[in-house]
Structure 1
């Protein structure tokens, strides 16, 4: 088959590698690109549905069901602790999947991630409560949450790598938006499922109705696996391992790309802080402290997801034209501003002002999420890209979203004011801004050093 040369620029080292890939007709390229975009979006949607279904259940259900206590705050902290444990497992899943994804292929790891997430989610829906089996209930819940963390840890880096490596040079943000859009789509599905189950099971929702959403995940995962098995492997990966793949990719990331890894952790981690505070932690805070209805807050979350699904591809296309750093810095500024606006509006007790506050805050994260995939992709070469992206994103998830509900709950309990939570978000946004600019300058310096 005819061959042509393509160039994959390693912005971490400033070198350009000429890659020989199989020439395809424009029709074949378009068909494969559509399959990759569709499969990465569909697969990440299924994964995030499972992940956010757990997050919402931790805020609404798991406290009294699995961590009964006379102290409501202690019970809620127990539920949010298992939520955080899933984030702890995510880097492990990312490292393992990145290792094999950089050695034997991205596609196989993406299929495996769906098996892990789907199996753990179904089993969560079948665990007896603390009242039935005592300490085994929270223990099993924690173990399965860790498996969920392994699954989603294996997912995002591979999906982004596949999408961006199939993208034309001027559309990497746009293609990278496909797996990122799976996050609001999965959250929307999770919220819709909870609303439907609340309406159909009534008072039985707290007892057993919530379990249906977990068990039905089996059907969704089957669809995701089917779509991914139809994909071809990334041509950049096939060329990068043509001679010999990197023996231990994650060690290579630490050895050669430590500065990039540290910077990408904060670039990827900070947007999830605001996301999880306004769409997960606020479910508990809004119902217990303010008195909003659970269903109303879930509908607000759905509205946020619809808006983000519209914003992400548009912002990504703009970023492809105007620059990644500019969009990321704008996102950090907007997130800090909307964090300061969130609580004065949310605390009024007016559901419409609460909706406005939540929508504005969550919309601001779209500016950052639209460029996180290509920023992380450009930080690492193809031979270790799955590992590098996974580690940056998943370690960032721990530093950011994983502990955000716990930190917010603790700050509120210690200070008695929601302003402490807002200040926490603002400081994180400033750190993200500095790291984004530093990463750009670091890469520019490395480019100059390599070419001088």
Structure 2
């Protein structure tokens, strides 16, 4: 690689990572608020169970909107380039998050408060649905082919940074505003989104289009309707990518979102403690996910991912057992160990799913496969958990739920193929040159 390429690679990875931090800060900020704040401020006329379900339902609508974002930005990402699509997604989620911080609550305008909250969440979902695949591709396609696992994992590590930033900001606001947090203090983290948005747009605008997309464009290989084409050519790959997503996404939704609400409501443990627990886990993800990507480059992307799934499956029941102790330090330990299992999958997953498609269909295939699955994995997981406990009376039903998700993910990843070098002539030639060197 030339010095110029090395510099642009560094810019691309930084642009992908920083933008991802911002977008997932916004997304996880909403998840935290859905567990702690929105049931009280936007659904106060409901009983606690119904209010929690309704709040998590608005959380789920963000996931429901993600396939729409995947279709829209998958199309543009494969038609006009990864960079342009990513800048647009950043604007969408940043503006919608800022507006959440300005929304009137139920006490001011009644049910319309919940309606407006729902609309903002849908816009967030559209933005995130198009962002993840683009950030992964921007980073991976600028990186060295022999280090694709590590390069592709950086945006996923940035998700952990976004979650850490969201958790830290909420904790700081709870501490500083005290009793006023539920009056006006909760708005501050959402309003900060606008400052982060401007910084992210500036950084991403300095990144050039990726070499892989340039080769597709220069070789006149751009597909007219990439979303339809990927479903026509590679429907099985899209489906298998979705299956593979389950084993990573369901457990993460359980320990990073649902358990905050459950432990706070049912045990004598403060919400601040649970938010801090996730902050520690998120910090570990910043380090652990790139490590997972590095290991994937050494022993294989698929093998690393499947080892992470097995780890997840084995920890599901011990995790619930430690939650049942109602001991804060053991609950923290249980959560952190789950983060370690998640990090191994999250480090290998970006390269695993991106390599499942040729360059001219890579954005569409990667986005569609992961974001449709996100609806049925993380999107509805908090509601499923709430329902399972309400009907079975035991947290161990959630361990079974995690186990089923792990089996689905293991099966999908086992049958997933690497089609990264089966696309355009220019891409195949570049692959052969890199392999030779």
Bigger mean CA deviation after superposition, 339-348 or 195-204: 339-348
Length-normalised TM-score, structure 2: 0.94
Q: 1:315 aligns with which of 292, 296, 304?
A: 292
**What's 1:33 paired with?**
9
Residues 325-352 of structure 1 show CA distances to partners (whole Å, capped at 9, x for unaligned) of 2111111111112221111111211110
**What's 1:134 paired with?**
110
Q: 1:177 aligns with which of 138, 153, 176?
A: 153
**What's 1:252 paired with?**
229
Q: 1:406 aligns with which of 365, 383, 386?
A: 383
Q: Does 1:264 align with 2:236?
A: no
Q: 1:275 aligns with which of 248, 252, 272?
A: 252
2:70/2:129 contact within 8 Å kept: yes
Question: What is the CA-CA distance between 1:270 and the residue it aligns to?
Answer: 2.6
Question: What is the CA-CA distance between 1:177 and the residue it aligns to?
Answer: 1.0
Question: What is the CA-CA distance between 1:135 and the residue it aligns to?
Answer: 1.3
Question: What is the CA-CA distance between 1:205 and the residue it aligns to?
Answer: 0.3
2:312/2:341 contact within 8 Å kept: yes
Residues 392-428 of structure 1 show CA distances to partners (whole Å, capped at 9, x for unaligned) of 1111211211111010011010101000011000111
1:269/1:395 contact within 8 Å kept: no
Distance in 2 separating the partners of 1:58 and 1:228 = 29
Question: What is the CA-CA distance between 1:70 and the residue it aligns to?
Answer: 4.5
Distance in 2 separating the partners of 1:246 and 1:134 = 47
Unpaired segments of 5 or more residues in structure 1? 1-24, 448-452
Question: What is the CA-CA distance between 1:268 and the residue it aligns to?
Answer: 2.1
Question: What is the CA-CA distance between 1:69 and the residue it aligns to?
Answer: 3.0
Distance in 1 separating the partners of 2:17 and 2:196 = 13
1:269/1:393 contact within 8 Å kept: no
Distance in 2 separating the partners of 1:376 and 1:79 = 31
1:269/1:398 contact within 8 Å kept: no
Residues 10-50 of structure 1 show CA distances to partners (whole Å, capped at 9, x for unaligned) of xxxxxxxxxxxxxxx62111101100111111000000000
Bigger mean CA deviation after superposition, 270-279 or 349-358: 270-279
Q: How many residues align?
A: 421
Q: Determine helix, strand or coil for the equivalent of 1:371.
A: helix
Question: What is the CA-CA distance between 1:216 and the residue it aligns to?
Answer: 1.1
Distance in 2 separating the partners of 1:338 and 1:211 = 36
**What's 1:428 paired with?**
405
Residues 251-296 of structure 1 show CA distances to partners (whole Å, capped at 9, x for unaligned) of 0011000000000012123311111111111111011112211111
**What's 1:296 paired with?**
273
**What's 1:238 paired with?**
214
Distance in 1 separating the partners of 2:129 and 2:238 = 16
Q: Determine helix, strand or coil for the equivalent of 1:206.
A: helix
2:77/2:134 contact within 8 Å kept: yes
Length-normalised TM-score, structure 1: 0.91
Q: Does 1:92 align with 2:68?
A: yes
Q: Determine helix, strand or coil for the equivalent of 1:34.
A: helix
2:357/2:419 contact within 8 Å kept: no
1:182-197 correspondence to structure 2 within 5 Å: 182-197=158-173
Q: 2:308 aligns with which of 308, 326, 331?
A: 331
2:292/2:346 contact within 8 Å kept: no
1:3-14 correspondence to structure 2 within 5 Å: none
2:157/2:287 contact within 8 Å kept: no
Q: Determine helix, strand or coil for the equivalent of 1:208.
A: helix
Q: CA RMSD in A?
A: 1.5
Q: Determine helix, strand or coil for the equivalent of 1:363.
A: helix
The structure carrying a bigger helix percent of its residues is: 2
Question: What is the CA-CA distance between 1:306 and the residue it aligns to?
Answer: 1.3
Residues 171-225 of structure 1 show CA distances to partners (whole Å, capped at 9, x for unaligned) of 0000001111111100000000011100111101011110011011100111111
1:51-130 correspondence to structure 2 within 5 Å: 51-130=27-106
Q: 1:365 aligns with which of 334, 342, 348?
A: 342
Question: What is the CA-CA distance between 1:152 and the residue it aligns to?
Answer: 0.7
